[in-house]
Structure 1
Amino acid sequence: MKRTNIYSTLIYEGFTRLAWCMVASLMLVVVGCSRPYIEATSIHPDSDEQIEFTASRGDVEGTITKMEIEVDGTIVASDNDATATYTGGPYPTHSNSKLTFAAIATKSGGDTVRKSDWVYVANPKNVYSYTSPSGSNDGYPDATSEQTGANLYRLDKSVVRNHAINAIMEYANANSLSVFEVFNTANHLVAAVARYVDEHMSWRSDGTNPTVFADNGYEDYSPGWDFPQPADLTLTISGNLTNATPNDDFQGDCEDHAILRAALLRALGFAPWAIWDAIDNPVSHEYNIVLYEGAYRLMDYGTIDRWLDTHTWDSHRSFYGWNENNGPRGASSTQNNYLKNNTDNYPGGKSDGQPWSYEIYYKDVSP
């Protein structure tokens, strides 16, 4: 008589059933993961801009009888089809916070499937409080260690605020916009300041600065490394304000341009976290990293659109950055991660999945 090993049979049957259960579970997971598709026109919108949401079937199979778009917990669009679109905003009430949205697809049998996502609504405007200067030379830096945003931007000086307003007015006139529209749109503020500095400032070597400062009553100005000019003195003593041509109203080299751009933006209420002075690697050039069109971008000589995409000038290989809240300016290994930790790569933690490098500031690399 053939003997059957009951123990072996039970083990075999048990594993067989377990295997089938695993397959069945996997099939249920795959089926359950079919979801519609939802996207926003920008993954990093500003609070003063509208957002267009688009929903489609994604990988949902079968007949879809209704597609809905939900924004911030409210159904805002519904279509008896497999697609839907909705344009909403601006969303100032969500400034510097997440805005959630979702696509909800209803199938012919009544079942619904959902796909959710979020964007971070950045708002760098209306931050007028500032850090008071503390430099030991009447508020100005008297050593490299005192080269801070507060001591170089000099937001306590009315001349900085006055020229910031001039930047808005000139940009508004040049682009047939109202001053109100420029003042209330973050992208316009950035473009206005970039244009103003480009129109009114020309390059001059640091070697001339001590003579210029001494001739204007600032012979004791000794800021340490690289002789950076405070923004208020750039605006008052650095150039020629009496001749007919505006392009030499102010003069200075790369760091003086960058300091002035940052100071003017801060005077217009642009938040400290949204405007940076950056120095490339190796240390040879200084420029700005600024929040523009909802992402961190390069701002340097010229208008704001000059350096948005990948280019061949190798002086934009960001090494470290400083601003009103991070510094001082002087080169230090402790500053190397300020940009990486604060501008990688969209505000609020929204990422395109790329590791930080200077290339993330290029629009064609990190849209």
Structure 2
Amino acid sequence: MEIRGGMALLRDVQEKGLCVDCGGCVGLCPYFRSHRGRVAMLFDCNLEQGRCHVHCPKAEVDMDAVSRKVPGGAYTGKPAGRFRRIVKSRAGQKMAGRARYQNGGTVSSLLALAFDTGLIDAAALTDRKGLMPRPRVVTDVAGVLACASSKYMASPTVAAVHEAFSSGFRRIAMVGTPCQVTAVGQMRCDPLGRNDMDPMALTIGLFCTWALDARLLSDLMPAETDTEAITGMDVPPPPSSVFSLHTRNGPVDLPLETVRRAIPDGCRVCPDMTAEFTDLSVGALEKDTAWNVLICRTEAGEALFETAVARGYLETVPMDPDQAAGLLKAASAKKARALAKVREEGALNRKEGPSVFHMAPAVVDDIMNRTSPLPSPSPGRRDESSA
């Protein structure tokens, strides 16, 4: 796998429409900036190798190398990745009444515990102004709770990790979607040897089938919609087939088939639904929205989970077998769809020229033999895409 520079990133990712505005290349140099859901290169860069290319989740991702860094161990291609346990969870008595959680409040509760115990000194989250998501560094529980809600938008959240590090924080938590945590995983592998240390104390991933380009979605809005009046958003469970926006002027519902036009092409080559390269992963349950799915992946993540339960930050119940089976089926289908797309584009395991990602041939065969690519599902429900 070849590490290249900014001009290659522009050619191989942005000009091909694969950029998902994760923020991995933002805040490292003067060249890349994110504005209203898009990353732009402001000036030509003559560096042959750069962290912008190294961090990108759509350029030369070595799935095995990132998996060995976090959660630890070879990349197997299993539907939900490597994990220690899966449970249903929600905010416990310790968190009661502290915020209005869109779903179970698991992410906010875990971050609150991490701040209260000194595990972290900053968190990179996603805030929102109207329709537009914004990366944000928070340093206390109040900041976490202020960001609690689902955004559903592609967001340059990894830029907040760079901002926190530049500000001197060295015990950073990050909450992100699969592409965002893949960028952080790439960063932590550090093949250029440019980081003095790994500042990530905690990574929490969010389930995601795909996100939305905020600018494209804005163009699909009814003309009379005041996007600055948006107070929340949701994808109600089936049989509903709408993307629902809550505004101070009343609800705005968009057909899901219309909303699909705002999906970045980069989402279609993502093989990860459950944010595998993390300490913990969290998602919402379609038919049981008072609870979250919580996946413990690392020893540190499981220890935080156990402390959260013991101290009343979380309450848990066993995962229903049918719900677990549905989750694994959906995650397996996303892997198969992404692999089929990447192979169709000739961007898998190339020895010369750009690849989106690299994966052991035996793992590729296992994924494709496990299930045939299924039609793309409704927008993935995500719990609190910032906190």
TM-score range, shorter chain: under 0.3
Task: Report which structure shows greater RCO (CA 8 Å, sep ≥6).
Answer: 2
TM-score under structure 1 length normalisation: 0.28
